[in-house]
Amino acid sequence: MKQLRITFLLAILVAGLLAANLYNEFYKANAKPPENIVVAGKFVDLSSMTLRQKIAQMMIVYGNPDDKALYQQMNIGGVFLTAMDTPEAFNQTTNLFQRDTKIPFFIAADVEGCINPFENFIKFPALHEIETDEDAFTIGKAEGQLMKELGMNMNFAPVVDTKDTIWNCRSFSGTSDEISGKAESYVRGLQSQNVIATPKHYPGKTLSVRDPHRLLTYAVIDSSDTKPFAKSAEAGAGAVMISHVIGSGAVDTEGKPAVTSKKAVTTLKKNFGGLVITDDINMLGLIRYYGWSDNRYIDLFAAGNDVVLDVASSPDKINHIIDVVEKAVWDGKIPASQIDNSVRKILKAKGFTPI
Amino acid sequence: MGKLAILNVALLVAALALFLNLAGPADMTANVVYALDKSEPKCIFEYRGLQSAIDDINQCCFELQQQRTCSQETAVNSDYVCSNSDYGAKYRVNAKTISYCKIQGYRLNVK
């Protein structure tokens, strides 16, 4: 009798797990592009998007091809790609992501020179090896050209921190003025190929401040740190990436990671009309401040960032983030108009006219 | 063993397999490896002969996810070397880092 009871319970467990597995596969296989979003040529009716779809459009996530259908259904804004063996592999992936989309994905990567996802088939010099503004333009243009050929439209580069004492290769070398000149030229070169440049990591000093106790990262920011960002903005950079540094001095982040400081983001936006993109939100600089609380997500969106980068979370986790932010909007913690403004900027960056 | 007992074992195995398919076998293995390994995660960036420690281990995971492969190596201070090619930048990490990154959700191409 006891054995029979165990058999019965195990059978229910197996049936439940089988149903869950089948539902998972069915859902992935039948995810469809959102039909409610109205796109007519270059015009997008913003009011046809739900709040959840708008929040999703503000996210760039890890570009797993298996998740494409789900992310398309959610209206995710972009995907981040990592190294592949061949140019053909990249093209296959980018074509898959952009197939049958109403609103194309941002397709982004870190192409920084010494960090190079194409390194298996093409080398680029490290930014710190670039000596002149002309070379910076030429290399920016070459990287942009390749990215365009591979179907990518956003580069999380150039690194314009004035010092890089951690990797020793990621940033341009020289004085703040020299770095600013190279940054400006690189941005012009890259964007001449219709690839969005994302100078990083605002407000600076992200690659030179080490915390021996592995806690939060504090830095005193001065004008030499922010000048490369100002010059990049003058060059028309389409985006800038904001870091988790807790800043004081020229950029006051209110004792919080810059990425969640409304003051820091607002200050940045006063002189920069492009997209403000967060550094990846799973880094310890942010997690150590917030722990695993959902407040992290609320503050990221409330601060006024236009795009939130999350390359570690699964689709389920991304869905949860959208749940949290949606509720925060309904609760009045994040103005709906702020979400709308960011989505307008995103759509314009993608070549649309939001109406 | 009675027929019911055999059936119960079979149902248990089926339940485990279905659960692993949902949760992801890599996650389960990574959790076990991480729990058993008492060392600290280590991450060393190497470029043109210069080495540097990456203290933010989640930052390291972010970078490892971008590498084409992570292969095992027998070295004093690392268990794996992760890179995009034979001649460029490399990350030398220990097994603890690999299992930590997997638990955090990063997708590593470990060979």
pLDDT tens for each residue of B28-81:
677 777 778 888 899 999 999 899 999 889 999 999 999 999 999 887 778 999
Q: Per the structure, how many domains does chain A have?
A: 1
Least confident of A4-13, A223-232, B11-20: B11-20
In a domain, A298, yes or no: yes
In a domain, A160, yes or no: yes
In a domain, A95, yes or no: yes
CA B18-B21-B22 angle, to 5 degrees, is: 90
Reading phi first (left if > 0) and then psi (alpha if -120 to 50, else beta), residue A109 is in beta
In a domain, B56, yes or no: yes
Residue B101 banded pLDDT, cuts 50, 70, 90: very high
Return the pLDDT at A28: 66
Q: Residue A289 maps to which CATH number?
A: 3.20.20.300
CA A111-A113-A114 angle, to 5 degrees, is: 115
Q: Give the residue-averaged pLDDT of A71-98.
A: 97
Full domain range(s) for residue B88: 24-104
Return the pLDDT at A17: 87
Return the pLDDT at A314: 93
Residue A3 has its nearest CB partner, among B5, B47, B68, at: B5
Using DSSP, state whether A77 is helix, strand or coil. coil
Return the pLDDT at B1: 59
Decide if pLDDT at A55 tops 80: yes
Q: Which residue has the higher pLDDT, A207 or B70?
A: B70
Rounded to an integer, what distance in angstroms lies between the CA atom of residue A97 and that of residue B74? 39
In a domain, B75, yes or no: yes
Full domain range(s) for residue A128: 37-354
Rounded to an integer, what distance in angstroms lies between the CA atom of residue A55 and that of residue A74? 9
In a domain, B96, yes or no: yes
In a domain, B99, yes or no: yes
Decide if pLDDT at A349 tops 80: yes
| B43 closest CA partner among B84, B85, B8, B95 | B95
Q: Which residue of A has its CA nearest to B50?
A: A168
In a domain, A30, yes or no: no
In a domain, B19, yes or no: no
Residue A29 banded pLDDT, cuts 50, 70, 90: low
- Residue A205, judged by CB atoms within 10 A of its CB (0-12, 13-18, 19+), counts as buried
Residue type, A234: E
What sign for the dihedral angle of Cα A311, A313, A317, A320?
Answer: negative
Q: Per the structure, how many domains does chain B have?
A: 1
Residue B11 banded pLDDT, cuts 50, 70, 90: confident
Which residues in A lie closer than 8 A to residue B65 (C-beta atoms)? 62, 82, 311-312
Rounded to an integer, what distance in angstroms lies between the CA atom of residue A120 and that of residue B41? 27
A90 touches chain B (CB under 8 A): no
Q: Give the residue-averaged pLDDT of A38-67.
A: 97
Residue A211 has its nearest CB partner, among B5, B21, B55, at: B55
A46 touches chain B (CB under 8 A): no
In a domain, B2, yes or no: no
Return the pLDDT at B35: 79
Which residues in A lie closer than 8 A to residue B14 (C-beta atoms)? 14
Residue A118: count other Cβ atoms within 10 Å of its Cβ: 21
Return the pLDDT at B16: 82
Pair B64, A110: CB distance under 8 Å: no
In a domain, B6, yes or no: no
In a domain, A120, yes or no: yes
Return the pLDDT at A280: 95
Q: What percent of chain A has pLDDT above 90?
A: 82
Q: Give the residue-averaged pLDDT of A125-144.
A: 97
pTM: 0.91
Decide if pLDDT at B25 tops 70: no
In a domain, A28, yes or no: no
Q: In this structure, what token pair is assigned to residue A352? A: 């649309």
Q: Give the residue-averaged pLDDT of A157-175.
A: 92
| Residue A353 backbone phi and psi in degrees, to 5 | -110, 105
Residue A213 banded pLDDT, cuts 50, 70, 90: low
In a domain, B18, yes or no: no
Return the pLDDT at A132: 97
In a domain, A25, yes or no: no
Q: Give the residue-averaged pLDDT of A244-257.
A: 95
A353 touches chain B (CB under 8 A): no
Round the average pLDDT of chain A to a whole number and report it.
Answer: 94
Residue A32 banded pLDDT, cuts 50, 70, 90: confident
B26 touches chain A (CB under 8 A): no
Which residues in B lie closer than 8 A to residue A115 (C-beta atoms)? 63, 66, 89
A116 touches chain B (CB under 8 A): yes
